[in-house]
Structure 1
Amino acid sequence: MTGHVRWDKETKSWMYTIEIGRGGNRKRRVKKNFKKQREAKEAMNLAVAELQQTESVVDHDITLGEYLDYWLRNYAKTNTAPNTYKGYEKIVRVHIKPSLGKTKLAELKTKYVQEYYTEKLGLHEFADEEDTVLSAQTVKHHHRLLTKALNDAIDWEFISKNVATKAKPPKPERYKIITYSVDELNKLFEKAKASKVHYPIIFTATETGARLGELRAVTWNDIDLDNRRIYITKTAYDAEGGGVGIKDLTKNGRDRYVTMGKRLTAFLKEHKEKYLETKKILGKSFNPLDLVFNNTKGNYFDPRELLKSLKKAYRRAGLKVGRFHDLRHSHATLLLQKNVHPKVVSERLGHSKIGITVDLYSHVVPSLQDGAVEVFDDMFD
């Protein structure tokens, strides 16, 4: 955006011209009839300031698709976890770009974004293919991505306002956490034993509350059987282009560890003995990374195969089919029901704040409050 002041011979007055954009999209805003050059300059400066609040100020030719590629490279890839970036890249490539990618960033409107949500929910009159229909929760993820990306576009001076903030994403139903009782978990373990590959991680996840990625990355060097600790210092993720990547989780030089119970300690001792016997037979080339949980070839196992195995065990045990993450939820819920302090549960789960734990497991809070009242009453009896 540029502006200049000059003398107009026809009107015999000062005038200013402001040019917006570039190339074929260049626009001009002209104002005439100022008696003094100073007045024209002051008016021009005010007009420029006003336009900078309402106009795209960097590149009027860039499309939304081009900008999102730029955003993925310059923000998402360096500022988000690998799996998060992978999810963002897929949303942009598979969904947003085919629908809105050719729209110029400066010409994107709230109604276009709103119509995109409608299309993805399968409510658009032309949305007749099943694979184009997404859940309300997934569409809300798209809304969050667009909102964040366009906020960054403001910071980087591509645009001056975020049209996604006024779009109305669908209101998804909150995922209902599934938790299992001790009896139900014992039934699950009996059926899960059918898979020698997947049972160890299913059992360990329930006993520790650790996340799937964290357990995939655990090596025998992270297991301290004498002091009954599992050190959680990294997470495994499926890398872009294939293979498995590892991300360090250690913060401020402090390792997070989860204390193991006697049952898990005994199980892992036996599991290690079997592993060492196998390695002795197959040689050093088997499981060169010393993974605690690995497939039959000694490599990282496929999470999709784990989930298939787990769902099969749920069904055989006659339980409601949940996710792998529900083993973590069950661990936390059982501890809270036994009056373990939420701070301790929070540390075991690796939550950054105790408030996350309390909010996530608010369904347990009423029973905890009942117990607290009984304790207080007992003090005055």
Structure 2
Amino acid sequence: MKGHVYKRGETWTFVVDVGRDPVTGKRKQKSKGGFRRKRDAEAALRKLLSEVDENRYIEPSSEPFSSFIEKWFYEHYKKRIKETTAISREYLLKKHLIDENPFANKPLSSITTEDIDSFYNLKLDEGYSTNYIRKMHQLLHQAFDQAVKWKKISYNPATQADPPSIKKEEMKIWSLNEIHKFLNECKNERNYITFLLAIYTGMRRGEILGLKWSDIDFDKKVIHVNRSLAYVPNKGYILTTLKTKNSKRQIPISDNVVKELLIHKAKQEEWKKRLGKAYEDNDLVICTEMGTMQDPRNILRVMRRLCKSSGVTVIRFHDIRHTHASILISSGVDIVKVSSRLGHANPKITLEIYAHLLPNIQDNVAEIFENELSKHQ
């Protein structure tokens, strides 16, 4: 491998062969100037020669970032994720990483960690949530990682970037008294079983609305969570696979839940008889009186109305899930069991969300240790 340094005016420059063009076969050279001292140019030359010899040298890409990330997203990333996830990520990509991104038109190889940190600060100033900015960071990190694998850049500038820490909103949950008040208020509502399942199982809204009768084992008193209802533009609401393998799970249910499900099933049979062939039987537990999929937005409207009429705290549907978990943890249920019931990817996630609810056992740790030790004296 050939290379040398020479003086240009008051500064030093190095030039080195970096191989041959795979198309033309012509020799390719890399040069860099502006070094004040000869030894600095020689040191930079040795470093580059080492990279070339060890096959670590990557020709700086002049491809614009926007061009690269579009190609990566549509030809690579989108094919490896769920359709519903791809739709939400596509909006984020177009709006924030391309249209409203200061470094969108910069060459891929010239983007720095500072560029990325400035981008996050811009989004903070624009009022976007820390959680949403972390999603931008996740997408950027994955894209740059692939650029490294494709040998378009030598390192991932997002690795050392500093996205904002997620600011956790104060968790709103119902007291036991509020749960009873709410359920009593909606006892005669068609969606009573929807709220009952949410409170007693901690299932996600989409999981409840995607539940089929064939997923319920009444003899073993177990619900098998196999799918979720999700909205897809131009398609409407569809039943999709679950996000993670842990989301597909079995949830034991109580005798009371079994009883209420059977009552609800009997009501559905009445709908079927009344409508005859007009009834669309999709085997769904939660559906309209026509048998079609239940629009989640209607559930939320009903919930808001019932919260106000029952006088309980107005919370989100997802906060019912928090309420379920909080009751279990406060009652001393092992965090691993709670995590499994909720369908979290791992118990660490459950701990991060509900750590503040764990009973404080630090006060008697010293006594527990001493008592155990004394048993073997």
TM-score, length basis structure 1: 0.75
> What residue identity is the alignment partner of 1:73?
Y
Give 5+ residue unaligned stretches, structure 2: 4-14, 33-45
Is 2:207–2:229's contact at 8 Å kept on the other side of the alignment? yes
Query: Could you tell me which residue of structure 2 aligns to residue 121 of structure 1?
Result: 124
**Aligned-partner SS, 1:274:** helix
Change in 2 beyond 3 A, CA 1:140/1:186: same
2:310 to 295, 317, 329: 317
Q: Tell me, in whole angstroms, the C-alpha distance in 1 between the residues paired with 2:85 and 2:256.
A: 35
Moved more, 274-283 or 228-237: 228-237
Query: Could you tell me which residue of structure 2 aligns to residue 108 of structure 1?
Result: 111
**Shift in Å at residue 293 of structure 1?**
1.0
**Aligned-partner SS, 2:223:** strand
**Shift in Å at residue 376 of structure 1?**
11
Q: Deviations over 1:42-62 (max 9, x none)?
A: 998536358955653xx532x
**Aligned-partner SS, 1:173:** coil
Query: Could you tell me which residue of structure 2 aligns to residue 79 of structure 1?
Result: 80
Q: Tell me, in whole angstroms, the C-alpha distance in 2 between the residues paired with 1:372 and 1:82.
A: 49
Change in 2 beyond 3 A, CA 1:366/1:184: same
Is 2:242–2:248's contact at 8 Å kept on the other side of the alignment? no
**Shift in Å at residue 20 of structure 1?**
9.7
Change in 2 beyond 3 A, CA 1:371/1:179: farther
Moved more, 96-105 or 349-358: 349-358
Pairwise CA RMSD: 4.0
User: 1:182-331, aligned counterparts within 5 Å?
Assistant: 182-192=176-186, 196=190, 198-243=191-236, 244-247=238-241, 256-331=249-324
Change in 2 beyond 3 A, CA 1:262/1:44: closer
Is 1:214–1:236's contact at 8 Å kept on the other side of the alignment? yes
**Shift in Å at residue 211 of structure 1?**
1.6
**Shift in Å at residue 184 of structure 1?**
1.1
Is 1:211–1:325's contact at 8 Å kept on the other side of the alignment? yes
Query: Could you tell me which residue of structure 1 aligns to residue 7 of structure 2?
Result: none
Change in 2 beyond 3 A, CA 1:285/1:45: farther
Query: Could you tell me which residue of structure 1 aligns to residue 347 of structure 2?
Result: 354
Query: Could you tell me which residue of structure 2 aligns to residue 180 of structure 1?
Result: 174
**Aligned-partner SS, 1:210:** coil
**Aligned-partner SS, 2:74:** helix
Change in 2 beyond 3 A, CA 1:189/1:283: same
Change in 2 beyond 3 A, CA 1:121/1:187: same
Is 1:111–1:167's contact at 8 Å kept on the other side of the alignment? yes
Is 1:239–1:245's contact at 8 Å kept on the other side of the alignment? no
Is 1:21–1:27's contact at 8 Å kept on the other side of the alignment? yes
> What residue identity is the alignment partner of 2:311?
G
Query: Could you tell me which residue of structure 1 aligns to residue 30 of structure 2?
Result: 29
1:170 to 164, 185, 188: 164
**Aligned-partner SS, 1:141:** helix
Change in 2 beyond 3 A, CA 1:51/1:29: farther
**Shift in Å at residue 138 of structure 1?**
1.4
Q: Percent of aligned pairs with the same residue? A: 28
**Shift in Å at residue 296 of structure 1?**
4.4
**Aligned-partner SS, 1:299:** coil
Q: Tell me, in whole angstroms, the C-alpha distance in 2 between the residues paired with 1:308 and 1:86.
A: 25
> What residue identity is the alignment partner of 2:176?
V
> What residue identity is the alignment partner of 2:195?
I
Moved more, 289-298 or 366-375: 366-375
Is 2:275–2:290's contact at 8 Å kept on the other side of the alignment? no
Change in 2 beyond 3 A, CA 1:54/1:267: same
> What residue identity is the alignment partner of 1:187?
K
| 2:89 paired with 1:88 | yes
Q: Deviations over 1:265-305 (max 9, x none)?
A: 11111111111110122124523311111234432223333
Is 1:99–1:116's contact at 8 Å kept on the other side of the alignment? no
Change in 2 beyond 3 A, CA 1:45/1:168: closer
Q: Tell me, in whole angstroms, the C-alpha distance in 2 between the residues paired with 1:84 and 1:325.
A: 19
Q: Tell me, in whole angstroms, the C-alpha distance in 2 between the residues paired with 1:346 and 1:19.
A: 55
Q: Tell me, in whole angstroms, the C-alpha distance in 1 between the residues paired with 2:192 and 2:28.
A: 67
Query: Could you tell me which residue of structure 1 aligns to residue 50 of structure 2?
Result: 46
Q: Tell me, in whole angstroms, the C-alpha distance in 2 between the residues paired with 1:27 and 1:314.
A: 71
Q: Tell me, in whole angstroms, the C-alpha distance in 2 between the residues paired with 1:20 and 1:110.
A: 31
Change in 2 beyond 3 A, CA 1:85/1:134: same
Query: Could you tell me which residue of structure 2 aligns to residue 60 of structure 1?
Result: 62
TM-score, length basis structure 2: 0.76
Q: Tell me, in whole angstroms, the C-alpha distance in 2 between the residues paired with 1:283 and 1:247.
A: 31
Q: Tell me, in whole angstroms, the C-alpha distance in 1 between the residues paired with 2:21 and 2:96.
A: 29
Is 1:178–1:326's contact at 8 Å kept on the other side of the alignment? yes
